[in-house]
Chains A and B, each alone.
Chain A
Amino acid sequence: MTTQPHTSTAGPPGDISQMSYAGPVVAFENVYKIYGKGESEVRALDGVSLEINAGDFVAVMGPSGSGKSTCMNILGCLDVPTSGRHLFKGVNVSDLDRDQRALLRRHFLGFVFQGFNLLARTTALENLELPLIYRRIDKKTRREMAMEALRVVGLTGREHHTPAELSGGQQQRVAIARAIVTRPSLLLADEPTGNLDSARSHEIMELLTKFNREQGLTVILVTHEEDIAAFANRRIDFRDGKIQRQTDTRKVG
């Protein structure tokens, strides 16, 4: 278990995120997630195996109840499978305890939610600094990194606005900036455009595409909408807890 993130805070956190692993970023090996027992048993995930490689831009689709939310929770290390193995950079996440999974999220994952989930009454800048605080990054560096992330998502000048003072699209861009400010290995976006109109949705998707293309950020996206899924270069369809179809939608050229 040499690649397991250690709980000590010694050394710059960058060292941990530089941890190299040649295999897929994430792999599911025959993953089951079962709620309830006996007659009322629900198989949210029913023997799922998948691999996601560095640089992938994956759209996860499927009707509600198909298991895609459960899949995202496990991918986000917020939940563990009932059985099977969830490997993150070769580490079996099922073996980790709550705090170790928290550290994994802190150092490798970024989240974007449908409801933005920014801290209310807290400025954009402070929202961005939050994950950096947990990473024990000093105040000056933190400020610089947060300002840079805001610039990248095109919100320079809005750093002191609270979520209530920003439009939905702007809020989601702050959320994306918060997710990428730590330079994660994997970005999980759960219906990031679900609360936005189509113009804003496209802006958000272009932003995600840009990070995927330019920085090689691995993105997994849950969506209902075909045109949003079209931004991805891979598509996984879920139905009844199983993967129904995996499609390579990479555009030629």
Chain B
Amino acid sequence: MFTNTLLMCLREIRRNLLRSGLTVLGIIIGVAAVIVIVTLGAGTTKQVQEEIGKMGSNMLVLSPGGERRMGGAATTSAPFDLADLTAIRREVNALSGATPVNMRPMQVVIGNENRRVNIMGTDNDFSTVRNWKVTEGRLFMPSELKSGKAVCIIGETIKKDMFAGQSPLGATLRIAKVTCNVIGVLEAKGQAMFGGDQDEIIAVPIGMFQRRLSGKPNVDSIYISANSEGEIAEAKAEVEKLMKERRNTGEDGQVDFNVRDMKEVSNMVQSTTGVLTGFLSAIAAVSLLVGGIGIMNIMLVSVTERTREIGIRMAIGATEREVLLQFLVEAAMLSAFGGLAGITLGLLGAAALAPVLNVPFTLQFSTVFTAFAFSAMVGVVFGFMPARRAARLDPIEALRHE
């Protein structure tokens, strides 16, 4: 009997193909939207995790400024200097490396090309701390670091865009007004978490940055890598203790720096994407609701249109339950088809959008299954009222219906 009901409903849907299609459009859009959002959201999360792994999950970032207070303006705290770096290297046991990072966008001229590029003042430790190798040429020489010589290591994108793929080693470029020799090329890192090209960068010795580019003996931030993941907390505590001493923070506990590990960053990113995904999913849920109301609407029309048919079925001996089931199955089937179409569309959409947004495409079966079950449920919930109306019809009245 159930197979017969299914076949009957299938035929009914096919009979009004255009109307059925338009009816489930709401469901299709809703489900497709959910699939796109959840798939891309999952892709982003995965990407962030991978990136943090790439960066080295052992990494700590020391930067000036206290704990952010709500509503408070970012306080200008005293910057670090190279003495702080030396102290960290000397005093903290749990670290495998520490490197200064001064990052500032500056005008760079190569030949007659001109663009704004992030200039990173650092030393050779950035290569180990950030797990970033030099693929061509070499790192800085000790003498270059000491004297602050105008040499630079360029990112992959700079090489590609401004040297047309030719070897840039030995070439010169101008950063601000300083002429600079290219000594190496950094390994490609790809897109950063929130867009932005990590390879559009030029690394220079920290000394050169301080003396010739910024003119200040500051170190903006210090990247530190712990010996192992297990020693992150220890390294963090040691750095905090040391910096408290060095920066003379009083007993009131007000610190004017912070040490962040990558887990925190990763959690922050994940909670941000989580909130975003949740918000967009809520919008998608509203569209599913609207889709459900559309199905209810069209099923009510269908019941009215088919009143005589219902009368015939009742005269022939269909029970209330059988009539109810017929219309309920029809509604559920309609929305399940909508769900399937939405899933297909959503996956195609996500696959098409993923490369544009630089997010990996990850297929999640749980999402697909939930979306399908949910769409079928929408049909049952919103199909129930019209189905019950059909089942409660008086056969005599129904047979008389024109």
**B-binding residues in A (CB < 8 A):** 73, 76, 78-79, 98-99, 102-107, 109, 111, 113, 117-121, 130-131, 133-136, 178
Contact = CB atoms under 8 A, between A and B. Distances in A.
B320 A111 contact: no
A131 B316 contact: yes
Name which of A131, A135, A178 has the most chain B CB atoms within 10 A of its CB: A131
A126 B4 CA distance: 11
A37 B392 CA distance: 24
B316 A106 contact: yes
Secondary structure type dominating chain B contacts: helix
A152 B218 CA distance: 104
B195 interface: no
A102 B396 contact: no
B319 A119 contact: no
8 contacts: A78-B396, A102-B319, A102-B320, A117-B308, A133-B1, A134-B313, A134-B316, A134-B317
B362 to A, nearest CB: 45
Interface residues of B, number: 20
A103 B1 contact: no
Given A117-B399, A133-B1, A136-B1, A106 B317 contact: yes
Contacts, number: 57
Interface of B: 1, 4, 15, 308-309, 311-322, 395-396, 399
Contacts of A178: 316
Contact of A103 (B309, B313, B317, B396): B317
Given A117-B312, A119-B309, A107 B317 contact: yes
Nearest to B4: A133
B313 A79 contact: no
A105 B313 CA distance: 11
For the complex of A and B, the 4 pairs showing the least CB-CB separation, nearest first, are: A106-B317, A99-B319, A105-B317, A102-B319
Nearest to B392: A98
A113 B399 contact: yes
A98 B315 contact: no
A102 B15 contact: no
Contact of B318 (A78, A102, A107): A102
B315 A111 contact: yes
A106 B320 CA distance: 13
A113 B401 CA distance: 13
B321 to A, nearest CB: 7
B31 to A, nearest CB: 30
Name which of B4, B15, B317 has the most chain A CB atoms within 10 A of its CB: B317
Contacts of A78: 314-315, 395-396, 399
